[in-house]
Amino acid sequence: MATIEYVTDDMTIGEVISQYPIAARALMECGMGCINCPSAQMETIEEAAKVHGLAPDLIRKYVNFRISTVEELQANANADSDASDTDAE
């Protein structure tokens, strides 16, 4: 199964968090606790990772993994809800 790239190295921290709020937690778990810093909002994932001495590709993969997990859970919850609605009819 191919992994969806929600986040790319050239996206800014601000863009990522705006589009995928769960990414804030994932970035902090990776050691990037400055996500609320005004200058970090304009840094790309790659730039911010390098500032913290982290591997950009590993950060990107982890953040994408966390986003995909949340997306999958939400899709399953919606499917369960739709099935419950159909059963009630």
Q: What pLDDT digit, counting tens, does each position of 35-60 carry?
A: 888 888 899 999 999 988 999 999 99
* Cα–Cα distance list, 54 to 19, 39, 62, 82 (Å): 23, 18, 12, 42
> Domain range spanning residue 70?
13-88
- How many CA atoms are closer than 13 Å to the CA of 52, on its beta-carbon side? 21
Closest among 45, 64, 43 to 55, alpha carbons compared: 45
Average pLDDT for 17-44: 89
The reply to whether 3 falls in a domain is no
Higher pLDDT, 30 or 79: 30
How many domains are there within the chain? 1
Structure tokens at 5: 């790239």
pTM summary value: 0.79
Q: State how far the Cα of 56 lies from the Cα of 77, in Å rounded to an integer.
A: 32
Q: What CATH number is attached to the domain comprising 18?
A: 1.10.3910
45 located within any domain: yes
DSSP three-state, residue 35: coil
